[in-house]
Structure 1
Amino acid sequence: MSTHDAVPVSLAEIARIAGVGRAAVSNWRRRHDSFPTRIGGTDVSPQFSLAEVEQWLRDNGKLKDVGGRELLWPRFEALGSRNESGLAVAEAARRMRSSRARIVHAELSAQARDLVAEAAKVGREEGPRETFEFLLQRWLETHVRQLSTTPPQLATLMARIALAVRLGPAEGGLTLLDPACGTGHLAAAAAQEYDGPGLELLACERDPALAALASGRLEFVAQDRDIRTRIATADSLRDDPFAGAKADIALCNPPFNERDWGYEELATDQRWTHGLPPRTEPELAWVQHLLSHLKPGGTAVVVLPPAVASRRAGRRIRGSLLRTGTLRAVVSLPPGSAQPHSVSLQLWVLRAAPDNPAAAPPSQDALLVDATRFARPGTREPSPDWDSLGSFVLTAMAALGHSDQEPPEDTVRVPLLDLLDDEVDVTPGRYTAATTEPSHKELALKWDEFGSLLTDLADHARRLSVLGFETGTPQTTTTVGELVKAGALTLRAGRQPSETVPPARGAAVPLLTIADLLHDGTPGGLLPTDSAHATAEDGDVVVAGAARAFKAWVHEGPPIALGPQLYALRVDAEKLDAHFLAGCLRAPANGRQAGTHASASSRVDIRRLQVLQLPLEKQTVYAGTFRRLRAFEALLAAADSSGKGLAGDTSDRLAAGGLTT
């Protein structure tokens, strides 16, 4: 094979194929003269021949536990075209389920057809559904800038809301509609959450590649279950393939801000029962399209940009949705919930009127939920705390239709008379913010708590301020690396988790990352309990080896898995006190001296960190003082947060008037 015909792979791709870090591949290239030569790319981002890399990895025993699917994706990517690679993955899914399935997409090239056959063979050997999901995920990651997908966690939340809010049992089965299904995330989530009799999935997508992939995914979902699927390739607004069909629930993440949605040709369409959507309001066209397909009492949950809740052009339609009791709730999601990640998107919960009005009399209010506080900033873009977010939103939804049930914090029932003004603005934050003003009693309690914090803080400050230190006496130190060599401790490094399906909570260990530390220190992910990740157990010292989050502490509690730039140090209790070790390591000057660069993004060389050399009995004395210093730091942070909150709350009360003293 010539270099022109070779399938190119990068160092990062080679690392994924071999199941190692990129640094390991760089080391192989540097140390082994037999490593394949570069065929393209640049000195910074070189590319190599996949066939030559595969042969080298096999010859050197680097592919022992790697499945064939890892070697497939670079060949799909080499097809070049987004559409052809997507259609090829979809065709492979069909062939994985049945070796006799004929090629549906005749436009596929001979190269793509050969690849489909090979992928089908690998899928039948390594698991058809797992292989398809792997290829689909890689395809989505490759074309992420060209696609807008619904994250699985958001899809699950939307399905749970729809199933919880709809009226009446699903006698004889349930029908779900998604008129802009993408690759089928929402329909797949609904199938996963629904456990009743019979399910019919109606899905439509105008992009042929996405529709084919959705079909492949939903066919796997329906396998061995009482599920019927109908996936159409069409523009739902202009050419509705399910005209006349009625659904129990509808889920949708429609395209945003599309001016060419069919305004002229659809001006007299019968679906616009709440008013003709303005040209600049395509999202309200999708909302009414969903409503036109709902059975009486059926529920729709739709993802919308926040501007739809307040733009003047759509106020008449919003007013009609409220007056008829159709718009039941609006949920403001945290930034990062879906693309675009910088925006706080909204979920609109809509419900069609039931056949029997007595079963659900028209509502006189709407439920507005502000869930933006559940954001978790990531390394590059924010991501929500999905567990807490889902629990909060579902608890809030339980208050729908139950006027005697108190909604949770940041949730408010707003009377229609307050909403039906000149603006008809249904943005939750506009109304929930007004409910956060503390009462006089609540404010007094907060001042008492703040006073207790200051008392404890002063006590710790008094004890720490009297510490004495000798000067001029040289102190002997050693390094973590030397302690490891001496057997006084063992060092394990965390790493980037491999691509796996999120495990069930009952069979998982929490995953802590640097991003979690920069947020609130709570592990934000889960890994299978049998994963090969380094874990910190009760009594281990954990060190964050990134300059921007440098710290060390003794882990107390159940095991946690560690992400990149996190390290677990297990001490020999006869030689080292864990709290003494953590106290020495966390000194800011220690981190600066061991840093590899001067910037905040640099790494800290854990093995170079300095530790005092003291006998065990004296270590215990130091350990007690280190623990008091940590308690002082925690109290200081709590007092800072509490004090700022009190200043804001008191300012709100003053601005509201009523000062008596």
Structure 2
Amino acid sequence: MTLDHAAAAAAAGGAGERRLVTRLEIAQAAGVHGAAVSNWMRRHPDFPDPVRTVPADLFAAEEVAEWLDGRKIQRDERREGETAGVTYGRRFRLTVGLADVHSDVKVAPDMFAEAIKADLWKSLEPGFTESQDRTMFQEMIMALVCVQAIAPKQWARIADTHSPDLFAHVWSALPAVDGIRPELLDRIVRDGWWQARFRTGVKVLQRWVQPGTSAPQERVGRRLTAAAAFDHLLDRFAQARKSSDDEYLTPHGVARLMVLLADPGPEDRVYNPCCGSGEIVAAVLDHQRDNGANRSLARNVSGHALASRAWRLAVMNTAVHGCPLDLGGQPPDDLKVVDVRGGPYDVVLTNPPFTMADWRSSTEIASSGWPYGEPPRHNAHFAWLQLIAAALAPAGRAVAVMPSSTTSVATSKNRQIRAAMVEQGVVRCIIELPKQMFRETASPLSLWVLGRPQQRPDHGVLLIDAKKATEPAGRTHRILTSAGSRHIVDLYHAWSEAGGSPIQPTGDLAAVAVTLERLREHNHDLTPSTYLRPPAPDVTSRSSSLSALRAELRQLDDAAVAADLDLDHLLDRLQPWNP
């Protein structure tokens, strides 16, 4: 009897029926190795005795759950959604379908789905770790999930065949002609190691993933939907590789928050100029489906990837989410180009590369052509922000991921651009996120919510400190909570509808609506903590001459400007060192 059978029996059992589980089922439901249960039985005399020993030891599930209620899950063993204080009893109950007796502890609502995800990755991780080309291994697995989702008949042929010659034919089911690297097909056909990993991947996905794309929920019975599996594996592969040479994966919670803030309607023209693996575009498609839009209306959604690896994954991602999009042809892997093509757009959503030294625009822009100032050459942050804002329709809105440093950068060029964007009413909201939100960088991030310039005398900016809208998920990662994300969206929309009036934060959010006059006093600093902390006490001596203080302040300001100019000059001249 497996975990699946236990869950089914738990669901089907009557009110008075005693539920019995084996040692293996206890281990699977609690998310531990089988040896752990044997150790518990040997080391703890109070562990429940089996109520039946033929044909195997069978334990009363309720008794096991009560015993596991006293064992907290250590921090490094928690799954995503499990917080401090959660017990193995809680995980066990939710997995096998027993009543929850600890409602004060917050965990993921579907622990059975979390258990499936954990087992899915545990089965695939060895192949990734052993592979000499880990990027290619990821693409092979993601392509298999894509075929599962969009071509169940071809998937059945893959599952039944033992002939490598069929592989190339089945890959034709993928949504793009160049959707798989030719060298991957060659390795699967000719290399025994890759053939073995291919067949292992097929068996694992047969076991844990439901073919097809019709189901909107996360799992169907004892399997994950293909979309849920694809999303989860994107995250786990990013976590395992720790860094990328091109575009970083946008976490599902962050991508969904960006979409909810922009709220694209079915007729809105939506664009993602750095679509990465397609996670933001997929979130747009899910948002439209959740709001009853016909999938054919996704013709208004488009994107562009900077790297061929990301492009292949993005094309597959949109297909798995039920609406394959035309994301252009395979890109030339040029990570130095900053461009927002076409427009005007109703919505722009993007997570561009954070550092692009010696970047260039696809169409050269003269110094006077930048609407808010020529960006420095040592990073492209304010080049992206300006091009995104310029690509918006009159009522357009944009959300972009940026390093938190952009909200308070001190170099003169970036500070002047930020000030000009604020003065013109382009910056609507800044949402500060904590460290460890992304798998491939531990740096703190911020979301910039932008719009077209506003012609009104006082246009303030909403600044939100969203650190408490997140929770830990393991030792080195944080995720947005559902409640935290909802509070951010509700707060921003309420502030927007009120015309920028003062607001009252909900939940654990810290937020402040800052007037343009106050922003000027702080050199257009957009860091929430600058305005949320108590004002500094006045330590000025009464005997100080006000004119002398003003003169000293002017001297310091002149010195700071000179230093900024020198720094910008040096950074623009700095070229990456090539061995």
TM range (shorter): 0.5 to 0.7
Q: Distance in 2 between matches of 1:352 and 1:105?
A: 41
- Cα deviation for residue 160 of structure 1 reads 0.6
Deviation at 1:277, TM superposition (A): 1.0
Correspondence for 2:496: 400
Q: What is the match of residue 193 of structure 1?
A: 287
Larger RCO of the pair (alpha carbons < 8 Å, separation 6+): 2
- Partner in structure 2 of residue 95 of structure 1: 147
Distance apart, 1:327 and its partner CA: 0.7
Residue number in structure 2 paired with 1:183: 277
> What amino acid does structure 2 have at the position aligned with 1:293?
A
Whole-angstrom CA distance in 2 between matches of 1:372 and 1:95 = 39
Partners of 1:205 and 1:234 within 8 A in 2: no
Shift of 1:154: 1.5
Asked if the contact 2:381/2:402 (under 8 Å) is kept, the reply is: yes
- Cα deviation, 1:421-448, whole Å, max 9, x if unaligned, reads 58321112111224xx8xxxxxxxxxxx
Q: 1:388 to 1:93 in 2, by over 3 A?
A: closer
The residue correspondences of 1:82-231 to structure 2 (distance < 5 A) are: 82-96=134-148, 97-98=150-151, 99=154, 100-102=170-172, 104-108=180-184, 110-112=186-188, 114=195, 116=198, 119=201, 123=205, 126-128=209-211, 129=226, 132-133=230-231, 135-146=233-244, 148-163=248-263, 170=265, 173-194=267-288, 195=291, 196-197=293-294, 198-199=297-298, 200-223=300-323, 228-230=325-327
Secondary structure (helix, strand or coil) at the match of 1:219 reads helix
Aligned-partner Cα distance in 2 for 1:656–1:16: 66
CA distance in structure 2 between the aligned counterparts of 1:353 and 1:155, rounded to whole angstroms: 25
SS at match of 1:193: helix
Count of aligned positions? 378
Q: 1:238 to 1:381 in 2, by over 3 A?
A: closer
* Separation (CA, whole Å) in 1 of partners of 2:312 and 2:362: 30
**Structure 1's 219 and 413: CA in aligned 2 closer, same or farther, altered over 3 A?**
same
Matched to 2:131, the amino acid is: L
- The question of 1:307 aligning with 2:405 is answered yes
* Structure 1 position 88, deviation (Å): 1.7
* Aligned mate of 1:249, from 324, 347, 351: 347
* Greater Rg by CA: 1
Equivalent residue number for residue 420 of structure 2? 320
Contact 2:249 2:439 in 1 (8 A): yes
Distance (Å, rounded) in 2 between the aligned partners of 1:286 and 1:340: 20
- Per the TM alignment, residue 289 of structure 1 is displaced from its structure 2 partner at its CA by 2.8
Secondary structure of 1:209's match?
Answer: helix
Letter of the 2:347 partner, please give it.
Answer: I
- Equivalent in the alignment of 1:419: 519
Q: How far is 1:248 from its partner?
A: 2.0
Is contact 1:271-1:288 (8 Å) kept?
no
Q: TM-score, normalising length from structure 2?
A: 0.55
Tell me the residue number matched to 1:294: 392
**Counterpart of 1:431 in structure 2: which amino acid?**
Y
Cα offset, 1:344, TM superposition: 3.6
Higher strand content, 1 or 2: 1
Structure 2: distance between partners of 1:120 and 1:406:
56
Q: C-alpha separation between the residues in 2 aligned to 1:362 and 1:208?
A: 46
Q: From the superposition, tell whether residues 18 and 261 of structure 1 become closer, same or farther in structure 2 (CA, over 3 Å).
A: farther
2 CA distance for matches of 1:270 and 1:17?
64
**Cα distance in 1 between the residues matched to 2:312 and 2:254:** 22
Q: Which amino acid counterpart does residue 408 of structure 1 have in structure 2?
A: Q
Q: Which residue of 2 aligns with 1:24?
A: 35
TM-score (ref. length: structure 1): 0.49
Q: Within 2, Cα distance between the matches of 1:244 and 1:270? A: 21
Partner residue, 1:618: none
For the 8 Å contact 2:339–2:387, the answer to whether it is kept is no
1:71 Cα offset (Å): 4.4
Q: Aligned-pair distance for 1:305?
A: 1.4
Structure 1 CA distance for aligned equivalents of residues 142 and 210 of structure 2: 15
Change (3 A) 1:240 1:94: farther
Preserved CA contact (<8 Å) 1:89 1:213 = no
Report the equivalent of 1:380.
475
The aligned runs of 1:633-644 (5 Å cut-off) are: none
Which consecutive unaligned segments of at least 5 residues does structure 2 have?
Answer: 1-25, 43-115, 155-169, 173-178, 190-194, 212-225, 542-579
Q: 1:366 aligns with which of 425, 437, 461?
A: 461
Report deviation, 1:401.
4.8
Q: Note if contact 2:315-2:325 (Cα within 8 Å) is conserved in structure 1.
A: no
Retained in 1: the 8 A contact 2:473–2:479?
A: no
* Cα RMSD for the two superposed structures: 4.2
Cα pair distance change 1:175/1:238, threshold 3 Å: farther
CA distance in 2, matches of 1:240, 1:305: 17
Report deviation, 1:179.
Answer: 2.1
Contact between 1:312 and 1:423, CA under 8 Å: does it hold in 2? no
User: What CA distance in whole angstroms lies between the structure 1 residues aligned with 2:352 and 2:378?
Assistant: 15
1:282 equivalent in structure 2: 380
Shift of 1:349: 0.5
| Cα 1:433–1:351 shift into 2, 3 Å | same
Aligned equivalents of 2:380, 2:438: Cα separation in 1: 19
Amino acid at match of 2:270: L
Check whether the contact 1:218–1:229 (CA below 8 A) recurs between aligned residues. Answer: no
Change (3 A) 1:177 1:295: same
Percent identity, aligned pairs only, is 22
Q: Secondary structure at the match of 1:159?
A: helix
